[in-house]
């Protein structure tokens, strides 16, 4: 164990640092959610009642102005996308059905109208969406196409005589499926269809289609089924939509990237169909950023519960003593919980970076039209990679927390079951993680060039092969970097390297990324050079490509952590963050130490030392584990698990303490001297 | 890819082989469960109704004679413990709440009466337990003591004047907690208490305590609370019991291992208190064997669903084609599902071996008193290790299956959510997996000698240190084996070794076990030799000790698989089993390849070749994946998941097809010419 152990951790200072720029928005959401309106029922209500409750609560949230943060001021919004995502992250400490319901309404449905529509749509709908006056759906996935959404089968056919479109579901597999807000509440849906104009297919476009009338019954020609019970998130009314000759007028087309004129002429500023599709998808990046953030928050909730329990629960001890030891004093228990805790800190900072970039690109100016395309592609890639890694981390860590709490963890009141069930689909929705990591790898292999978007998923292999080698190996600093790393990292010299040296850690992460990536490029080029079937070549490299994506995302995460440490000059904070960063970096090296040995980058002696150092870091952080989760700032009222609360009970703020008025987010912005649109 | 690919797999022949000796019992249980009495409701019923339904179904099962298999013929049983465990495994393809309810009643409560009680208890209760006339509980865990059950706080105090015992719950933490069958149905409980006779504490003993009267209301002095909703298994009525001066008579003590005479004299054939406790616990080994088997069955259900879906579901394909590819044609999808499939086969055979051994020791003779103590210890160790590895495998694999089925996997109707939730606690109950692996390691480190049972968990470290080095390294064939392995396995010679050579694989598994174990022994000895605090030494080695246990269990699993292959002379079966065995062995080597490199046992080149060979084996088995899950023989009516069924629907046998009579397991035994006790 290092000699200069941490003496203390100031949880409040650490929380302020984690809260960062949007501390006031976080405080606002915490205060709102701790009110009695959001009290957790003693038992999960039956599905019908649960859905009703979630809808009511979403309306209450809408009334606080939170959703308005997402939309441009000229349409009743507040134009603060970064703050909106942060508010959403904080909401994820509460009921995750409520979170997903809000995500569907404000983020997905609202986001489609905002980013794919134009002024006429914004004027007509954005304010009503933010207030939940117009509940809506984001109808992209179909029964037969969840991941390959470019192949959805629903059609929108231009009818020149009527001056509008006809929406049709041609088969069972073309039903819009798992659509949130569809089974009970949605009045309108952004429906993704193959657009047919004059017999010509123009690819996937979104149209606004009313699905229910004022009385709540399905609109003419719209068939709505309930998806029924799910593994989790049963407060969200997922449904299945089918359209039988449903007519909408010309304005229904969300026409930022393509329009059909009154004369039935199709026009788009983006000629290539694939590129147009990926551009449209790209504007929806905030959904992925939001899911990643929510996953990190849920992980924090689970870790707070399990670590507090582990510090209090005693079991086993010296045979001749009456005292037993806290679970967290056992090495295996530290090993289970503290590396995931360090990684959760790392993900927090990586998420912070992605939100800041999203805010910069899509922020208060609203549109980001003028931003360089490359910046947007990089953001999409970062968001996709971080979403995949953060949601898998959530699934694994929450499971570990459940097991670490034993039988108590299996009781519903301690919330780990709910966290498990509700977050489970995060690895699937807003892009299946495996598919997302492939997208990340493709972006890297083509140097964020847009051309691969012009190709179908398999033909991409051919393009990637033609670009990848040069892209990866000869990228500006590439060769130089690899040369330097090769010199520094050979095992023969490693005795001079301190495992806790950040530059050394970064060097290993970077070298791995470059090496795996260039190896994948080589394999693709070699495979296609031999004239093999592109699919076979691509499939053969698929596992390699995913390793490359993972290596890339972890390098980004480590760099984000380092940048976070650099942002503070409070020595005490630097101390604790440094240890956490070490634990993250070395746990990741430990996990990948087979690879590093296989590639001659670390010796077997060094590999064993990595494991020992992880043990030492766990022991060093263990006395501060409770402060490290306290710093996540999750109010007891939201945490709610008796095993994690002093005395086993949460005190929920009574409305008397806070006055009758729900706080409004506009007041928060005014408090920090921001100009708030009226 | 090897040239001699498998041409076909005969699912029926393979199923017959997997069914093994107890094929008829499996067929019987499958037929019973496919009847309308066990139809899966469209939606999960509310908890009250669900509990009621589970109780009704358990009674129906009792009427088929299945539970009688567990008990000795002279008390109305059939004396077939191996068949009973096999029936239980098959039941695990059905509702897992029903399974656990039966496990609590017949296995745990019945097992305590059977194995800890004597003739008077057997005569009074076993038949009533098997018929469910007397619903009962196994009340061991307490709020404060789930794992360290030797420290339970409930007391049973001998009252000489009354000639009986007084049961008392001295504190909140002493409440019996998470007790199945307690909240609704249980009439009696086997309560584990600290026995106090004449002011002397005699350690933990079990007593039969009535907890409810005929009318179902709590007995005098018994306080019963409902544990409420759980993450899963909500058809089981878990409750919390507290005892306030509850009086029971002298016969209430289950007195096989200790009695209190009428004169108030305490007598036990086992002098040492720790050893007595572990001997009592040891007789309950069938519970762990049952949970391991149930976990394997649930894993088979999940894999059947995910693999059928993966073979049918198409997504993505060549850009200029209308066809898309089956998910299972993608390497990453093969990688997710096929190594766990191979491991599930491996676990099936390991479980088969443990059940056979259990049957031999506790089988038709009923008691096994005459068996060598060492055999029983070895069985306990095997059961503990296999339970831990099989239940973790279930948790991981079912999660993977859920993700591999995407959004469809998240819908309740496809059953993966239920399988996830219901099996989750398997890693915790019947012994927390981490604790179980420590027990395994301690048994190995002391050569199955009983002495460590005489010590408390921490003091064990001292004993282990004094024994372990000699035990492990100098055990009969030890040195010789290590010498041979060292000669054969040095990386310099590995070019001559075929990764698919079974002896080479076995050599690596064995070498790893021996090496990790002797390393742990060395560390313990060195630590204590330096006069350090035994807890600190033990804790410092805890991760090492767990690695040793895992290595041991995997070596046993591989050997079981090899023995299974040796049992058949059907060449076609040998072919497919060989490939599965290769895939299991190499997937495990791949997972542990960092360790093998660190210890100089495989070169980096060989390590990379392991990964490539796993890929090749996946590709080779992929065309047969559906047959490999068909061979698990899970009736469609039990599988029930629409995504796994032809046409999306299960045909359930109607009662008309089978006649009105429920089949009786006695008829099955008669059919194979067994003498059935009347």
Nearest to B607 among A329, A417, A594 (CB): A594
Q: What is the mean pLDDT of the segment spanning A75-92?
A: 95
Mean predicted lDDT score pLDDT of chain B: 89
> Which one-letter DSSP state was computed for residue B415?
S
Nearest to B316 among A141, A148, A534 (CB): A148
CB contact under 8 A, B411 and A229: yes
pLDDT (tens digit, 9 = 90+) per residue, B6-54?
889 999 999 999 999 889 999 999 999 999 999 988 788 999 999 999 9
CB contact under 8 A, A421 and B421: yes
List the structure tokens of B374.
Answer: 């060492």
Tell me whether A428 touches chain B (CB under 8 Å): yes
Distance, in Å, from the CA atom of A671 to the CA atom of A524, rounded to the nearest integer, reads 56
pLDDT (tens digit, 9 = 90+) per residue, A355-393?
999 999 886 444 445 457 788 889 999 999 999 999 999
Share of chain B above pLDDT 70, in %: 87
pLDDT at B477: 44
pLDDT (tens digit, 9 = 90+) per residue, A51-83?
999 999 999 999 999 999 999 999 999 999 999
Strand (E) or helix (H) holding B258: none
CB contact under 8 A, B324 and A597: no
Distance, in Å, from the CA atom of B595 to the CA atom of A39, rounded to the nearest integer, reads 49
Contact list, A427 vs chain B (CB under 8 Å): 403
DSSP class per residue in A414-445: GSHHHHHHHHGGGGTSSS-HHHHHHHHHHHHH
When pLDDT is cut at 50, 70 and 90, the band that residue A467 belongs to is low
pLDDT at A477: 43
Task: Output B496 or A103, whichever has higher pLDDT.
Answer: A103
Contact list, A399 vs chain B (CB under 8 Å): 395, 399, 424
Contact list, A320 vs chain B (CB under 8 Å): 456
Share of chain B above pLDDT 90, in %: 75
Q: Which of B140, B240, B516, B594 to mutate to test the interface with A (most CBs of A within 10 A)?
A: B594
Nearest to A407 among B141, B151, B535 (CB): B141
Asked whether residue B333 carries a pLDDT value surpassing 50, the answer given is yes
When pLDDT is cut at 50, 70 and 90, the band that residue B647 belongs to is confident
Nearest to A395 among B399, B424, B546 (CB): B399
CB contact under 8 A, B407 and A330: no
Mean predicted lDDT score pLDDT of chain A: 89
Q: Which of A320-334, B98-112, B152-166, B249-263 has the lowest mean pLDDT?
A: A320-334
Asked whether residue B470 carries a pLDDT value surpassing 80, the answer given is no
Q: Which of B410, B433, B455, B490 to mutate to test the interface with A (most CBs of A within 10 A)?
A: B410
When pLDDT is cut at 50, 70 and 90, the band that residue A12 belongs to is very high
Asked whether residue B462 carries a pLDDT value surpassing 70, the answer given is no
Contact list, A434 vs chain B (CB under 8 Å): 332
Contact list, A229 vs chain B (CB under 8 Å): 43-44, 411-413
pLDDT (tens digit, 9 = 90+) per residue, B196-251?
999 999 999 999 999 999 999 999 999 999 999 999 999 999 999 999 999 999 99
pLDDT at B446: 83
- Tell me the CA end-to-end span of chain B in Å, nearest whole number: 57
Interface of B with A in 32-61 (CB under 8 A): 43-44, 46
For residue B662, the distance in angstroms to the closest alpha carbon of chain A comes to 32
Distance, in Å, from the CA atom of A81 to the CA atom of B550, rounded to the nearest integer, reads 49
pLDDT at A166: 98
Q: Which of A398, A406, A612 to mutate to test the interface with B (most CBs of B within 10 A)?
A: A406
pLDDT (tens digit, 9 = 90+) per residue, B278-299?
899 988 899 999 999 999 999 9
Which segments of A192-330 does DSSP mark as H helices, in order? 273-282, 285-312
Most confident of A144-148, A183-187, A361-365: A183-187
pLDDT at B2: 44
Q: What is the mean pLDDT of the segment spanning B440-465?
A: 66
Tell me whether B639 touches chain A (CB under 8 Å): no
pLDDT at A7: 83
Interface of A with B in 317-336 (CB under 8 A): 317-320, 324-325, 329-332, 335
pLDDT (tens digit, 9 = 90+) per residue, A502-553?
999 999 999 999 999 999 988 888 887 777 887 788 888 999 999 999 999 9
CB contact under 8 A, A428 and B434: no
Interface of A with B in 257-296 (CB under 8 A): none
pLDDT at A533: 81
Asked whether residue A346 carries a pLDDT value surpassing 90, the answer given is yes
What would the 3-class secondary structure string for A61-102 be? HHHCCHHHHHCCHHHCCCCCHHHHHHHHHHHCCCCHHHHHHH
Strand (E) or helix (H) holding A338: helix A331-362
Where b means 16+ CB within 10 Å and e means fewer, B431-467 reads: bbbbbbbbbbbbbbbbebebebbbbbbbbbbbbbbeb
Q: Are A96 and A640 in contact (CB under 8 A)?
A: no
Asked whether residue B450 carries a pLDDT value surpassing 90, the answer given is no
CB contact under 8 A, B231 and A402: yes
When pLDDT is cut at 50, 70 and 90, the band that residue A449 belongs to is low
DSSP class per residue in A492-541: GGGGG--TT-HHHHHHHHHHHHHHHHHHHHHHHHHHHHTT--HHHHHHHH
Pairs of CB atoms within 8 A across A/B: 206
pLDDT at A501: 95
Interface confidence (ipTM) of the complex:
0.93
Q: What is the length of chain A?
A: 678
Q: Are B383 and B285 in contact (CB under 8 A)?
A: yes
pLDDT at B674: 67
Q: Which of A127-131, A232-236, B78-82, B646-650 has the lowest mean pLDDT?
A: B646-650
Distance, in Å, from the CA atom of A184 to the CA atom of A186, rounded to the nearest integer, reads 6
Tell me whether B372 touches chain A (CB under 8 Å): no
pLDDT (tens digit, 9 = 90+) per residue, B391-432?
999 999 999 999 999 999 999 999 999 999 999 999 999 999
H helices, E strands: number in chain B = 26, 11
Distance, in Å, from the CA atom of A499 to the CA atom of A3, rounded to the nearest integer, reads 15
């Amino acid at each position: 164990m290092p000699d200069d152990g941490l003496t203390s951790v100031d949880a409040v200072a650490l929380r302020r640092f984690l809260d960062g720029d949007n501390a006031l928005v976080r405080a606002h959401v915490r205060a709102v959610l701790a009110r009695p309106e959001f009290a957790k029922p003693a038992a999960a209500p039956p599905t019908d009642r649960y859905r009703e409750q979630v809808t009511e609560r979403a309306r209450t949230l809408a009334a606080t102005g939170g959703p308005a943060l997402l939309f441009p001021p000229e349409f009743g919004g507040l134009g603060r996308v970064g703050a909106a995502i942060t508010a959403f992250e904080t909401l994820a400490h509460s009921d995750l059905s409520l979170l997903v319901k809000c995500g569907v309404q404000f983020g997905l449905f609202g986001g489609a109208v905002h980013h794919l529509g134009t002024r006429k749509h914004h004027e007509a709908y954005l304010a009503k969406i933010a207030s939940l006056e117009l509940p809506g759906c984001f109808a992209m996935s179909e029964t037969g196409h969840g991941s390959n959404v470019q192949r959805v089968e629903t059609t929108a056919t231009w009818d020149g005589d009527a001056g509008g479109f006809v929406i049709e579901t041609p088969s069972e597999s073309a039903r819009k499926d798992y659509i949130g807000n569809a089974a009970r509440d949605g009045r309108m849906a952004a429906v993704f269809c193959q657009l047919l104009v004059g017999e010509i297919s123009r690819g996937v476009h979104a149209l606004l289609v009313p699905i229910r009338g004022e009385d709540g019954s399905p609109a003419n020609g719209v068939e709505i089924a309930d998806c029924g019970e799910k593994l989790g998130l049963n407060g969200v009314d997922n449904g299945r939509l089918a359209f039988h000759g449903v007519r909408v007028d010309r304005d229904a087309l969300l026409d930022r990237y393509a329009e059909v004129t009154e004369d039935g002429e199709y026009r788009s500023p983006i000629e290539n169909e694939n590129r147009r599709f990926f551009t449209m998808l790209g504007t929806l990046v905030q959904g992925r950023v939001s899911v990643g953030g929510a996953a990190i928050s849920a992980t924090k909730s689970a870790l707070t519960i399990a670590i507090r329990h582990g510090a209090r629960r005693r079991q086993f001890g010296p045979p001749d003593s009456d005292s037993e030891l806290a679970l967290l004093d056992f090495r295996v228990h530290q090993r289970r919980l503290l590396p995931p805790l360090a990684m959760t800190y790392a993900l927090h900072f990586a998420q912070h970076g992605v939100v800041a970039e999203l805010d910069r690109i899509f922020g208060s100016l609203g549109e980001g039209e003028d931003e360089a395309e490359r910046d947007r592609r990089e953001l999409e890639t970062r968001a996709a990679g971080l979403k995949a890694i953060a949601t898998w981390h959530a699934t694994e860590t929450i499971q570990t927390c459940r097991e670490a709490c034993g039988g108590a963890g299996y009781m519903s009141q301690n919330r780990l079951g709910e966290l498990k069930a509700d977050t489970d689909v995060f690895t699937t929705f807003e892009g299946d993680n495996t598919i997302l990591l492939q997208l990340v790898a493709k972006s890297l292999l083509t140097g964020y060039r847009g051309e691969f978007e012009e190709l179908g998923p398999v033909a991409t292999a051919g393009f990637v092969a033609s670009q990848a080698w040069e892209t990866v190996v000869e990228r500006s600093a590439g060769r130089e970097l690899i040369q330097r790393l090769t010199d520094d990292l050979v095992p023969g010299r490693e005795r001079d390297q301190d495992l806790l040296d950040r530059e050394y850690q970064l060097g290993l992460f970077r070298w791995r990324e470059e090496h795996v990536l260039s190896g994948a490029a080589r394999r693709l080029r070699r495979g296609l050079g031999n004239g093999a079937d592109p699919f076979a070549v691509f499939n053969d490299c698929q596992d390699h490509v995913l390793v490359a994506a993972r290596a890339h995302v972890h390098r980004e995460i480590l760099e984000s952590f380092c940048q976070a440490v650099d942002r503070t000059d409070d020595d005490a904070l630097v101390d604790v963050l440094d240890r956490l960063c070490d634990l993250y970096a070395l746990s990741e090296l430990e996990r990948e130490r087979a690879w590093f040995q296989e590639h001659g980058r670390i010796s077997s002696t060094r590999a064993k030392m990595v494991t020992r150092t992880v043990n030492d870091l766990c022991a060093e952080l263990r006395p501060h584990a409770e402060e490290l989760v306290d710093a996540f700032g999750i109010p007891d009222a939201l945490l709610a698990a008796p095993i994690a609360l002093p005395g086993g009970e949460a005190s929920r703020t009574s409305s008397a303490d806070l006055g009758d008025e729900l706080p409004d987010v506009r007041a928060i912005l005014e408090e920090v001297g921001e100009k708030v649109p009226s």
